[in-house]
A = this chain, B = another copy of it.
Amino acid sequence: MKIIKLTNEVSLARDIETGTESQKESVHTIIRKVREEGDRALRDLTKQFDGAVLDRLFVSEAELENAYDHIDETTLKALRKAIENIRTFHYKQKRESWITTHHDGTMLGQKITPLDSAGVYVPGGKAAYPSTIMMNVIPAQVAEVEKIIMASPPDQEGNLSPVVLVTAAELGVEHILKVGGAQAITALAYGTETVPAVDKITGPGNIFVALAKQAVFGDVAIDMIAGPSEIVVLTDDTANPEYVAADLLSQAEHDEMASAVMVTTSAEIAERTKLEIEKQLSRLPRKEIASASIADYGAIYVAETMQDAVEAVNKLAPEHLEIITKNPHSLLGSIRHAGAIFIGPYSPEPIGDYFAGPNHVLPTNGTARFSSPLNVDDFTKKSSIISYSKEAFMRDANDVAAIARLEGLEAHARAIDIRKKKSDDE
């Protein structure tokens, strides 16, 4: 891990994988095929890419029930507690429609309506990701989205992992499509004979999933295209280097492109954390990945003052920020850009990744400047409500017509005048 004296030049910017021409070509071929051939294409492509011959495209109730036999009680208890915490937090995000009523009879308001339907993509492969399911499904459920379709690629036997199935069952997800990749995204976007088209697709995936989401964007809504994960740990001389090192490594193990950065006011803590990283790194199962990440995208910046350090954090606009300082809460007001802020020595990032309640789908690559964690609002939309009374209309008519004519839109003005004249005549 490099230790660098802080200057103005801090950045998390990395080259994000945008797909090769051949990958884009493949995705467009898949999209065309699924739109033309529907379910048949889903079966063919699942055979081709996942090696599975699917009997039925959707998980059956029996499969869901049997999955419980493969989960131990401790795991189930942990998953249930996580679900409860995540639900509790997201319920607080829920917003109601509102309306204002005025003495003149006018009513103005904002109606909040859930999306009709949402699709949640869950990556497959060797690992199972129960947290992905929770973090994408729960905000949609809290928003009261009526139809939620989950999609995940099966193994060669055509099965999803028991952990994935149990997590979905615990959440009450009823429709689980055993299809992955660009073919799943296309089915969710446009529908097939058995897969209903949804209004929004969320969830992470490989480059083919990301390219497919970009391609269908506009016809349906999508969440962000997430870049590699990032953490910035902000410390002073009170931080425990063992903790900081462990937290940096927990980010670095995700991906060779992941970025683990420390910003500190203490040169001593910088040195000690660097040594701790080396020590802990050597004992990690995923040490190859973590080493590459630390070498290429890791850094420890040493700042002259806490103010400089905070300014660097705001420039970095990290996905995850940990503040481990003497008085960490006092810095909250000065942090302008971060996806999630973990405060104090007992809030390591994994607490938020899995358990505390806030969402782990967060803006990466500096987009925390203008983007938010996935949240309940993302599964609703607003409609404005305008209800004018005759009295209010008559009062405002001339002003409205005047502005319409200022913009050269005579028919707009006449839609006002025709009512005004009629009412004046009465």
Q: Which residues of A contact B (CB under 8 A)?
A: 74-75, 77-79, 81-82, 89, 92-93, 98, 100, 106-108, 110-111, 113, 115-116, 126-131, 163, 199-200, 218, 220-221, 242-243, 246-247, 249-250, 252-254, 280, 284-286, 290, 328-329, 332, 335-359, 362-363, 367-373, 375, 377, 381-390, 392-393, 396, 398-404, 406-416, 418-419, 422
Task: Give the residue of B253, B371, B373, B384 whose beta carbon is less than 8 angstroms from that of A411.
Answer: B253
On whether the beta carbons of A410 and B373 are closer than 8 Å, the reply is no
A290 to B409, CA, bound (A): 11
List residues of chain B with CB within 8 A of the CB of A346.
388-390, 392-393, 419
A409 to B373, CA, bound (A): 22
Known A411-B253, A418-B242; judge A404-B370 contact (CB<8 A): no
On whether the beta carbons of A341 and B111 are closer than 8 Å, the reply is yes
On whether the beta carbons of B351 and A403 are closer than 8 Å, the reply is no
- Which of A249, A329, A358, A403 has its CB near the most chain B CB atoms (within 10 A)? A403
On whether the beta carbons of A388 and B358 are closer than 8 Å, the reply is no
On whether the beta carbons of A128 and B407 are closer than 8 Å, the reply is yes
List residues of chain B with CB within 8 A of the CB of A344.
387-389
Minimum CB distance partner of A391 in chain B? B346
Minimum CB distance partner of A246 in chain B? B415
Min CB distance A13 to B, Å, is 10
Task: Give the residue of B115, B127, B129 whose beta carbon is less than 8 angstroms from that of A370.
Answer: B115
On whether the beta carbons of B339 and A384 are closer than 8 Å, the reply is yes
A422 to B399, CA, bound (A): 71
Min CB distance A198 to B, Å, is 9
On whether the beta carbons of B411 and A252 are closer than 8 Å, the reply is yes
On whether the beta carbons of B253 and A352 are closer than 8 Å, the reply is no
Q: Which A-B residue pairs are the 10 nearest by beta carbons? A: A358-B384, A343-B387, A346-B393, A372-B382, A78-B399, A221-B370, A340-B384, A253-B411, A246-B415, A350-B412
- Which of A77, A338, A409, A413 has its CB near the most chain B CB atoms (within 10 A)? A409
List residues of chain B with CB within 8 A of the CB of A353.
404, 412
On whether the beta carbons of B79 and A403 are closer than 8 Å, the reply is yes
On whether the beta carbons of A396 and B339 are closer than 8 Å, the reply is no
On whether the beta carbons of A373 and B382 are closer than 8 Å, the reply is yes
Min CB distance A262 to B, Å, is 14
On whether the beta carbons of B221 and A341 are closer than 8 Å, the reply is no
Known A345-B419, A370-B220, A381-B368; judge A108-B350 contact (CB<8 A): no
Sample of 9 A–B contacts (CB below 8 Å)? A163-B406, A242-B418, A340-B386, A346-B389, A346-B390, A356-B386, A356-B396, A368-B381, A368-B383
List residues of chain B with CB within 8 A of the CB of A414.
246, 249-250, 280, 284
A252 to B386, CA, bound (A): 21
Minimum CB distance partner of A401 in chain B? B350
A92 to B100, CA, bound (A): 9
Task: Give the residue of B355, B384, B418 whose beta carbon is less than 8 angstroms from that of A396.
Answer: B355
List residues of chain B with CB within 8 A of the CB of A418.
242-243, 246
- Which of A78, A247, A357 has its CB near the most chain B CB atoms (within 10 A)? A78
